[in-house]
Every structure is written in C-alpha cells, then in structure tokens.
Amino acid sequence: MKRITLLSLLLILGLSGCAKTPNDESVSSGAETNAEYTEQATEYTVEGTYDPFEGFNRAMWTLNYDYLDPYVARPVSLAYVDYVPSPVRTGIRNFLSNLDEPANMVNSIIMLDGEQAVTHFNRFWINSVFGLAGLIDIATAADITKPGERAFGDSMGYYGVSNGPYFMVPMYGPVTLREGAGDYVDGLYFPLNLLTFWQSLGKWAFEGMEDRAALVSQENLLKDSPDPYIFTRDAYIQNKNFRALGGESLPEEPEDEEYLDEFLDEVDDY
C-alpha cells in the first residue's frame, strides 16, 4: 500500500518516472486560457486517460488542493522533516521501503525482468538479516542499489490492462481502478500481509510526509499551469503508462505534454 499521504498526493502523488521539460511556448500556444485548456484536455491527449467523473473529481481536487493540503498535509510534512532527526527519519524510511521489496520482486518476475527481481530479493534478505530488519540499508552500501518500484498495477498494465476510470479521492489523491486493484493485491504479499490496518496507515503516512516535503520545490510548476487539475491528471497517467512499460521509453510523446517533462524529471530525483 505504497501511498503518498494525507492528500499530499495532490501535488502529483507519486510522480516519478518518464519525461523531460516544460516549455513556456508550448503551454501558451496549446491553451491561452483555462477554458481553452480544459476544452482541449477533454480530448485526453495522454493515452490511457479516462475521466468519466471529472465534475466530481474537480470538486475533490479543490477540497484537497485548496484546503486539506495547505492546512494539513504540507505543514505536517514540513514539521516532520524539520524537527525529526535525520537518522531517525532515514531508519524509518529504510524499514518501510524494505517491506515493499517482496512485492517488487514478484511484480518484476511477472513483468519478465529477472535481473530486477533478483536485485529486489537480494536487497530484502540482506537488509532484513544484516540491516536490523531494514532499518539500515546495507544493500545500498554493498552497491546493490534499489531499482524502480514495481506494483501489480504496473504488471497488469504491462500485459495490456487499461488504467480504467480516474478518480480524485478526498484525503487521498489520484488513483485509477487498475492501480487500486493492484495495491490490494500487493498488500497480500509477505510481509505487507502481516500489517494491521493501523500499521498500514502509519506506513502510508510516514512515506507520504517524506514525499510531500520533497515536492515543495516543485509547487510553482503546478501553480503556473493553466489548469492544475489537468496538469496533475495528465502527469499521473503518463507516469502510470511509463511504469507499465517496465521503465522503457514511451513510443511517442504527445506534443501537448512537453510541459510535464521537467516536473517529472525533477520529481524523479527524490
């Protein structure tokens, strides 16, 4: 249940992956006004987008972006990063990340990536045995770096299952039907299946606070976009398409999506 927390996903939940650079000219020429941009976006310029509940989703976006994020998620996340000692945060982050390694391994196998599956397996047993159940990232110190995350939603996409309807969930953020179903399946793998509801919620919250704080430097990109809702949706779907390809380059990039590139490249650094 790897999630970016407490509505902080709103800024772009988890975006990390493919893309390159925003271009001011492409933004202005593609849509001179919010109305024009919104009308253009209904054509779903990003492949795999399906937003049949856009009216409801926009209302939830306003709730999350204008109220819950600035008054709850953002200040809580920054307080966590500013006041919790770095070694403590690193230990928590390592421990929680280690819990996902078996699911990453299984999904790498499903996606026919044996090398990445072996890497996830080695990282899990090394960090679990020698790294105090994952609190210390011994594997990275041994030059076994962590590859990208692999979720069951990505595995389904790899075999052609579409994203399905897009939802903006209050107090949660963007999600598609495929991703939601995939997260449920990933939660059945050891050791995630041993977590209680409250432990899973705690994992989600700690991971989310780190990720939300890391996105502070990217906020202006979202604020300056003609339509932040469409910007977020398109970047989110583009990232899901990228992950479903196993991290390979997209066949082609729609011209109207060039402005997403820099944002995704910079978020990928975190």
For the chain, the average pLDDT equals 82
Report percent pLDDT > 70 for the chain.
76
Spatial distance between the Cα atoms of 159 and 151, rounded to a whole number of angstroms: 13
The mean per-residue pLDDT over the stretch 166-174 comes to: 90
Instruction: Return the structure tokens found at 39.
Output: 């009308």
Each residue's pLDDT tens digit, 69-118:
999 999 999 999 999 999 999 999 999 999 999 999 999 999 999 999 99
The mean per-residue pLDDT over the stretch 128-149 comes to: 94
pLDDT confidence of residue 262: 52
Q: Give the confidence band of 217 by pLDDT, cuts at 50, 70, 90.
A: confident
The mean per-residue pLDDT over the stretch 126-155 comes to: 95
Spatial distance between the Cα atoms of 208 and 188, rounded to a whole number of angstroms: 21
The mean per-residue pLDDT over the stretch 18-43 comes to: 42
Spatial distance between the Cα atoms of 77 and 67, rounded to a whole number of angstroms: 15
Phi-psi domain of 47 (left: phi exceeds 0; alpha: psi -120 through 50; beta: other): beta
**What are 168's strand-pairing partners?**
174
Return the higher-pLDDT residue of 108 and 217.
Answer: 108
Radius of gyration of the chain (CA): 18
Q: Report how many helices (DSSP H) and strands (DSSP E) the chain contains, helices first.
A: 14, 2
What is the CA angle 158-243-104, rounded to 5?
85
pTM score above 0.85: no
pLDDT confidence of residue 42: 57
| 54, pLDDT greater than 80 | yes
Q: Which residues contact 192 (CB under 8 A, 6 or more apart)?
A: 1, 99, 100, 102, 103, 186, 200
Which helix (H) or strand (E) covers residue 264, if one does? helix 261-267
